[in-house]
Structure formats: structure tokens, C-alpha cells
A and B are shown apart, each in its own frame.
Chain A
Amino acid sequence: MTGQAGNRMTDFGIEMQLFLDAIYLKYHYDFRAYAQSSLKRRLTAAMSRFGCATLSQLQDRALHDPSVFPSLLDYLTVQVSEMFRDPSYFKSLRDNVIPTLRTYPSLKVWVAGCSTGEEIYSLAILLREEDLLSRTIIYATDINSEALMKAESGVYDLDRIAGFSDNYLRSGARHSLSDYYTAAYGRAVFDKRLTKNVVFSDHSLATDSVFAEVHLISCRNVLIYFNAELQDRALTLFGDALCHKGFLGLGSKESLRFSSQADRFADFDRPHRIFRKQEAT
């Protein structure tokens, strides 16, 4: 053992706990059960963005200057995603999940942690091409209301579109992505008809509860930011929200194996991390 103490908290560890408590008490955003290692990186990035030498200084700013909070929230939450990220996931939805969804007279889909909306448009395009969009309600939820506004606007930088389009083509596309947006002034604006039945709403997997029964939940690369306990909470919500034999899609490296909720779900398409709700045994 060197001079460093074994289990004693580091100064940063103490500051981090105090900071997260402060944010929760003041703004009711609960990051206390986020995965520590990636949260620490994000907080360190936020400190340098706001010119704070310590997290205590950043806490002082966050408490006494509420105008700082929205951009701070971006540091803590926003994931940059792509449309049709992991094209084979969308291909599997199209080939393997849609045939079952088609049997329902009306559909409800929940995209949990939708951030700036890339996944919403991907799913809406897929559902439209399968003639299901008009009888589907999509719940698009996130804790960051500015990200939700961006999602609702459906405007993306044109230089990201080539990548989106490439993914789309590999996802089993039936058209060209350009059929769904209008390009102008360096931006692509997606067709408003895609989001006619999308309900954009503020919802926290850490503090809120189930709001509807749904047939499909897509929550990709969101749970990786949670610690094991918060993952269990979110998966409990998903299990409660899904209808009998409803589908759950996770990110390509997210697993249920390490969760207390594992036995509520059965593998449906293991490589693409698509699961199906099953009755508890």
C-alpha cells in the first residue's frame, strides 16, 4: 500500500457526490445513480468548459446561476447518435419484429432516452415503409427538454446525412433517404408527416414511472450511462410498460444478463439485442 488510502473517498469523489446531490435538490434531475466512470469524464469536461478548477466551483456556478444549467445538462446527458445506427438492428426489426407488430390493430412504441431524435426518425421511416406509421403512436422521451426540442424540429446538419443515408441503405431501405427530407442552407429538414403521431415528452427513467402500455421499446445506448441499480429500475419500468410478449431493443453491447430483471425477458434476436417480455417463472 502506498500513501493513498484504500477505501477512503478521493476529494473528487466527495465533490461529485455533493454536486449530484445539489443538482438533484435544486433542479430535480437525478444523476446520483449514473455510472461513475463515464459521469466523471463528463463532469471533468464540463469543468473545463465552464473554466472551473474544481467541481465545487462548478457546483457554486450551477446553484447560483440557473442560466448555466441547460448547457450543463447537455454535458451530462446528450449522446450524439446517428440515424439507423447499427443498421442490422433496424434490419432485424424490419424482418423479424414488424411481422408480429403488424398483427396489432394499433401500435404503441416507446423510444426511451431519444436525445436529439435520430432514432425517432429512423423508426418512423421504417414504420412508414411497412405501412404501419399511420396506426402507431411513438412516445419519444428524454430528460433534456432542449434535446427534445431539437428532436421535434427534425433538423440535422447536412454533413451528417451521408452517414445516415449509408446506414439507412444497409438497414433494408425501400427508398432513398432523400425522399424524407428537404435540404436547405446546409441543413436537412425531415418531413413533418413522419412525426405526426410522435408524442415528445419529458420523462426520467430515474424518477418517473410507467405512462402507457406499449408493444415495442427501443432504448439504445442509454442504459450504459446508468449504474447497475438504475439499470434495474429502468428495466423494471420496461417490463411493466410492455404488453404480453412485447419487444425490447437495446444497444449492441447492452445486456440483460447482469440485471435482476433478466428473467422477465427472453432472447428474441440475441446478436441484435432484441428481447421479448415473458411471464416471470
Chain B
Amino acid sequence: MNIVFAKSPFLQPVTDLLREMEKTGFFSHGLLIGSWPMLVYSEYFTLSYGLATNDIDFAVDNVVKVPATGDETIPQVLQRLGYSSVMDYTGIETFLQGTFEVEFITHRRGGSAPPAVVIPPWKVSAQPLPFIDLLFIRPATVSIEDFTLRIPSPEALMLHKLIIAQRRTGRDKKLKKEKDLQQCSVLAEVVRAEELMQLAREYRLSKDARKSLAASCAAIGTTLPALNDIITSRP
């Protein structure tokens, strides 16, 4: 899927950040995730969902052995843009600028992993979380003004959110779950059934993941036959 915008749908500081990130070559192996892709899809498909929080999450592929474009690492780029790096006690790095908070996430294989891993070639510390690799299957390309970025496809984003909504942890899990499900209800209007099925086939969802999917579908009351087929099919 290719999306072209003549004018950026993002706030100016976010547009500036994305433009600079593209210069490092990040989007060849990285994606803009979180609630910002929803802003892209609401604009592109004219959906009634235009809310985005000020946390800007990026997913990064952890198996990259590619040379970075440009001389700067991502922490250097962020520092140049006025972001301060703050490391919490578990080693997770966050970049702060005013009310904006930038974090990097990578795929976690298996049950346990260190709280953060450094991703070459951008020398950025990322938090490993499960199901992130799902977002990298056939992502959408978004061209804005003079730069291009990548976001998960609506189908991958929906499938991901349907699964993780049931697995949220932490003190804000209830609100995050509701937000995930709200986004899924909106995406249900535009997802392609065939692509959903194809994704589920390729990703080989586990029994637990299917259970989460079923619980989320029931919660939002979606009647998409493709989702029903995924839930009831054998892993």
C-alpha cells in the first residue's frame, strides 16, 4: 500500500522528527507505530479517528546488518532536535522533548529477554516486546512532502492490536486496552479480508494468540468473517 500526502497530517515537531529519521535510513528497517499510523489512516480513508497521544513509538527490526545512511546515529539526531535521553532503572531509553516522548521497540522472541537491546546500525536502545514482527509484514509506505516513511498495514495493525489488547500490563492497562479496541473498531471499516487471512496464515498465530483475538473481537462486536475464520482455523 502506498499513501501520498501533499501536506503532512502530523504536527510540525513530529513531521520534523520523521524527516530527520528518514535521513538516517531508519525506515528501511523501521516503522512508525503506536497511535500515529491511525492518524495517517483516518486522513487517508476519512475515518472518524484522529486522536494521537504525544508518545511516538518506532518499531525496529532487530536482525539488521545494514550500513546506516548519514553520519549521525539516532540518539545524535534526536539530541540535535532537542530531545533529552532519559534511561530508567531497567535500562529502557526514552527521548523527551516537551510533552513528546520517543521510544523504540523491537520484536521479542520467546518468553524472556533483557529489558532493552541496542540495535545496530543506529545505536538505539529498544525495548523487546512480543508480536512486533507481525507489524513488519507488508507495511504501508507513506510519502509526505519530501520524505517517505513506513507504517504497519491496516490489517497488521488491527491484528496486532486485537492480540495485545488482551495482554496489556501495568497500571494503565485498562485505558490502553480500550484505546486498542477503539482503534480496531475503526480499522474494521477498511481492512481487506483477504490480506487479514493471508497475514494470519503467514504469521501462524498460536492458540493463545487466537484466544486473545477472539476475546477482542467479542469485546468490539466485530462480525468480520475473515477474523472468524482466523479464530476458528487450526494453528
Pairing of A with B:
no
